[in-house]
Amino acid sequence: MPSQRALGVAVVGTGKMGADHVRRLHQVVSGARVTAVVDIEVERARTLAEGIDGCTAYTDPTAAMAAQDVDAVLIASPGPAHEAALLEALRRDLPVLCEKPLTPDAASALRVMDAEQKLGHRRIQVGFMRRYDAEYMKLERLLRSGQLGNTLMLHHRHRNPAMPPWFTNEMLINDSVVHEMDVTRWLLDQEITAVTVLKPAPSSYAPEGMDDPQFVLFETESGALVDVEIFGHCGYGYQVQAEAVCERGTVRIGDESGPWLSADGRWGGAVTPDYLERFADAYDRQVQAWVDATRRGEVTGPSVWDGYAAAAVCEAGVSAQRDGQRVEVELIERPALYE
């Protein structure tokens, strides 16, 4: 139902992303206010709540969702904690923006899909924020326009300066490449059908036990081929680039937009240090779109189907990474709620 009052949002998980979303909801986005922050680390939530009028700190997501002033939930806890929070929000029929991944595997994503279908309407938007990045949006419009003919190949490069110490080999696929799984499905408007993972000799900066970088190959329904270079420890900055190769032209995004500096016998631009800077506009646009749609009583953006499809591709990807084999992606038939 459309609402005139500011949307009261509970932010669940107040680590790196959650704290940034709290700041965004409080200072950048219009039409919303942070009424609850939730973290199992109580001091983290308390410190954030202290800076915001009318905001209460909780350690239990269920208690926060029961509060009178909570109209919607933004989930930014780690992936394995998403299912419980999503099911509780659906039980209370609360709108949700859930950071990627929807859940860590296809079986848990299906449980969430089942609960949303039983509710009978969409409530969940998945935080695949690249769909809100200005350059990706232009690329999507261009490919959809048909101006360049069919898309034959996509080349993705996804480089992080370094990964946190707890980051695993599998997470390169299901925490990092999951973004390319989503943008590929979105840009090409079709499903990924198979995944292969190849591993070059690792960088000497890769932690023990991590194959870094890796080369991931997707096949899609139309027969397009999509490659992803995932590099977790490139050292120099955060860089996300894509190139579409079409029948009548190619398009490239992510080459940083400047400023380009010529000085001291050198020329060049800067590379952003982290995703918070590279995708700042995309996160802002994503959360504003979620708040606006929720206040209109609508749900837009990446759906539980998109979260499930990405989880299924992740499972195939992790299996391909482990066994060195091409692995086909298995999807259930798409339910009518997500047509």
Ligand X SMILES: NC(=O)C1=CN([C@@H]2O[C@H](COP(=O)(O)OP(=O)(O)OC[C@H]3O[C@@H](n4cnc5c(N)ncnc54)[C@H](O)[C@@H]3O)[C@@H](O)[C@H]2O)C=CC1
Footprint on this chain of ligand X (rule: CB under 6 A)? 12-18, 38-41, 44, 61, 76-79, 81, 99-100, 127, 129, 175, 275, 279
Q: Which does 160 bind (CB under 5 to 8 A by kind): ligand ISE, ligand X, none?
A: ligand ISE
* Residue (62 or 117) nearer to ligand X, CB: 62
* Residue (160 or 303) nearer to ligand ISE, CB: 160
Minimum distance from residue 97 beta carbon to ligand X (Å): 11
* Residue (166 or 267) nearer to ligand ISE, CB: 166
The residue type of 52 is: I
* Residue (8 or 127) nearer to ligand ISE, CB: 127
Neighbours of 83 (CB within 10 A): 20
Minimum distance from residue 78 beta carbon to ligand X (Å): 5
The strands making up 214-220's β-sheet, listed across from edge to edge, are 249-253, 239-246, 151-159, 225-231, 214-220, 192-198, 327-328
Q: What residues does 162 pair with on adjacent strands?
A: none
User: What DSSP designation does 140 have?
Assistant: H
Minimum distance from residue 332 beta carbon to ligand ISE (Å): 25
| Cα angle, residue 84 at apex, residues 62 and 291 outer, rounded to 5° | 70
* Residue (94 or 177) nearer to ligand ISE, CB: 177
Tokens representing 277 are 């800077």
Q: Which does 16 bind (CB under 5 to 8 A by kind): ligand ISE, ligand X, none?
A: ligand X
Q: Which does 93 bind (CB under 5 to 8 A by kind): ligand ISE, ligand X, none?
A: none
Q: Is the dihedral of CA 5, 7, 10, 13 positive or negative?
A: negative
Q: Which does 109 bind (CB under 5 to 8 A by kind): ligand ISE, ligand X, none?
A: none
Exposed, middle or buried by CB within 10 Å (0-12, 13-18, 19+), for 183?
Answer: buried
Q: Which does 88 bind (CB under 5 to 8 A by kind): ligand X, ligand ISE, none?
A: none
* Residue (76 or 139) nearer to ligand X, CB: 76
* Residue (58 or 305) nearer to ligand X, CB: 58
The strands making up 72-75's β-sheet, listed across from edge to edge, are 56-58, 32-38, 7-12, 72-75, 96-99, 124-127
List of E strands, 87-128: 96-99, 124-127
User: What DSSP designation does 17 have?
Assistant: H
Give the separation between CA 106 and CA 83, rounded to whole angstroms: 11
Minimum distance from residue 66 beta carbon to ligand X (Å): 15
Tokens representing 108 are 């848990």
* Residue (283 or 290) nearer to ligand ISE, CB: 283
Q: Which does 231 bind (CB under 5 to 8 A by kind): ligand ISE, ligand X, none?
A: none
Minimum distance from residue 264 beta carbon to ligand X (Å): 34
Neighbours of 313 (CB within 10 A): 30
Q: Which does 77 bind (CB under 5 to 8 A by kind): ligand ISE, ligand X, none?
A: ligand X
Minimum distance from residue 321 beta carbon to ligand X (Å): 18
Q: Do 115 and 141 meet the contact criterion of CB atoms below 8 Å apart?
A: no
Q: Which does 301 bind (CB under 5 to 8 A by kind): ligand X, ligand ISE, none?
A: none
Residues in contact with ligand ISE by CB under 6 A are: 160, 175-176, 179, 275
Location of structure tokens 């790196």: 16
Instruction: Name the residue with the smallest CB distance to ligand ISE.
Output: 176
What is the distance between the terminal CA atoms of the chain, rounded to a whole angstrom?
22
